[in-house]
Amino acid sequence: MGLDRTTIGTGINISFIESDKFKTNYIGVSLISGLNREKASKNALLTKVLKRGSKNYPTMAILNRELDFLYSAGIGAGVGKLGEAQIVGLSAYMLENKYALDDCDILAGTFGILGDILTNPLIEDGGFKTEYVETEKTNLINDIEAQINDKGSYSYRKCTEIMCKDEKFSINNLGTIEDVKAIDSKNLYEHYKYAMSSYTMEIFCIGKFADKKQELTDKFKDLFKDIKRENLESFDTQVILKAENKGEHIEEMQVNQGKLSMGFRIGMSNKDGDFAKFTLFNAIYGASPTSKLFENVRERLSLCYYCHTAVEAEKGIMTVLSGIEVDNKQKTIDEVLKQLDEIKNNNFTDKEMEDARLSIINSYKGVFDSSGSIEFWYLRRLLCGVMRTPEESIEIIKKVSRDDVIEAAKKISLDTIFFLKGTNLADEQDNTDDIENTEEE
């Protein structure tokens, strides 16, 4: 499943990915900036306000009614980060035209709504509609405050913030409460105009577009023709290859279960052509159902409730995450490091390696299961500059050897340990599903 990519303006690219797996088509528009403390909150708020309404669709009721007429088409919005780049995203999904029971042009209608939201926002008195801005500020502040509720995610975030204290990666993707409070309708609108003129844009069209490529390309060119594009932002990610040991940090909280996060520098990033070596190492170590961390730290020794790795491939960092009883902290740390040494010292079986390889291959094949995962696969590869299809990556991972895995393991160094120490005074529901292993070859 290849990428057909064309530049249609200064810093604006459109990519078509043909797939016959879905009855729906998908269009995603990503505005990409360098992660910046001053802009993070504005970027996070911007998607929420844009989705509230545009000039031609000024309320959510009107917007949703029009989408219902288009066979329940949908509009999505969100903000994320890859390495030290922040992604402001708007997307649309729609039923393929051939499934309409009448002559409704679902694609054209949905594109019209998406384009209006993106380039024709609802403006009052020189700024966004104040009611919408204030409501969404409250929602964003609630989102920031709620980040502490998932203790596993909180521990992970605190570990990486300490680890990357003087690096842009430590910036919260949602910004800060203080920065959100300082936003008003006018300065958010000024930021919107800056983003539209200075952020790189990557557009993805996923589905059956073979006979619509030129039409959609022309529509997007026309959509952005009056926007002056200049002084585009860069979004390079700083990668530190060797850890500077920042020691152990402990924070107490009224939860039953301790959360241990161990941050490592992996000595490379996904910009490196041989990153597949680390990919297979990671699956053997902590990212697969048969990994050493799962089989030993959790199953054999029963030191934790869960134990796995989470990887920021763009940044070149790996975090081992585990939920433990407080008294098991040092034993868990020792065993996590022991299992790393086992791989460095060639103490892993052929079966462990092949099981891990199969797990990676299955995950690559799963990329095709949703339009969102396809978009994410190609977007992160555009950002790192190493473009491969999932099929090509499967062939590469098949060739990674035992010596390659050992070489990757020997580059890894421990940077930071963060422990959220439970005080056994409160009940807690653990939820670590949203800390995904984001590493991919």
Terminal alpha carbon distance of the chain: 16
> Mean pLDDT across the stretch 404-416?
98
CATH number of 4-223: 3.30.830.10
- Two tokens, residue 347: 């103490």
Q: Name the helix (H) or strand (E) containing 251.
A: strand 247-253
Q: Count the Cβ atoms, other than its own, within 10 Å of residue 356.
A: 27
Torsion of CA 196, 199, 200, 202, to 10 degrees: -60
Separation CA 390–CA 375 (nearest Å): 12
Residue 254 has pLDDT above 60, yes or no: yes
Q: pLDDT tens, 161-214?
A: 999 999 999 999 999 999 999 999 999 999 999 999 999 999 999 999 988 999
> How confident is residue 32, by pLDDT bands cut at 50, 70 and 90?
very high
pLDDT value, residue 432: 47
Residue 79 has pLDDT above 70, yes or no: yes
- Two tokens, residue 305: 């409730």
pLDDT value, residue 433: 43
Query: Average per-residue pLDDT in the chain?
Result: 94
Separation CA 341–CA 109 (nearest Å): 58
pLDDT value, residue 255: 83
306 phi-psi bin (left φ>0, alpha ψ -120 to 50, beta other): beta
Residue 428 has pLDDT above 50, yes or no: no
Q: Which residue has the higher pLDDT, 359 or 433?
A: 359
Residue spans in the chain of domains classed CATH 3.30.830.10 = 4-223, 247-422
Separation CA 240–CA 246 (nearest Å): 14
pLDDT value, residue 288: 95
What string of H, E and C letters represents the secondary structure of 268-335? CCCCCCCCHHHHHHHHHHCCCCCCHHHHHHHHHCCCEEEEEEEEECCCCEEEEEEEECHHHHHHHHHH
pLDDT value, residue 427: 46
pLDDT value, residue 167: 96
pLDDT value, residue 424: 61
Q: pLDDT tens, 261-301?
A: 999 999 999 999 999 999 999 999 999 999 999 999 999 99
Contacts of 330 (CB under 8 A, 6+ apart): none
pLDDT value, residue 440: 52
pLDDT value, residue 205: 97
DSSP notation for 75-114:
EEEEEEEETTEEEEEEEEEEE-GGG-SSS--HHHHHHHHH
Give the dihedral sign, CA 281/287/288/289: positive
Residue 42 has pLDDT above 80, yes or no: yes
Beta bridge partners, 203, equal 14, 29
Beta bridge partners, 77, equal 90
> How confident is residue 252, by pLDDT bands cut at 50, 70 and 90?
very high
Residue 144 near residue 179 (C-beta atoms within 8 A):
no
β-strand 200-207 against 12-18: which pairing, if any?
A: parallel
pLDDT value, residue 438: 47
CATH number of 247-422: 3.30.830.10
Separation CA 297–CA 302 (nearest Å): 6
DSSP notation for 158-205:
HHHHHHTTTSGGGS-TT--HHHHHT--HHHHHHHHHHHHHHSEEEEEE
Q: Name the helix (H) or strand (E) containing 249.
A: strand 247-253
Beta bridge partners, 311, equal 318
Q: pLDDT tens, 221-234?
A: 999 999 999 889 98
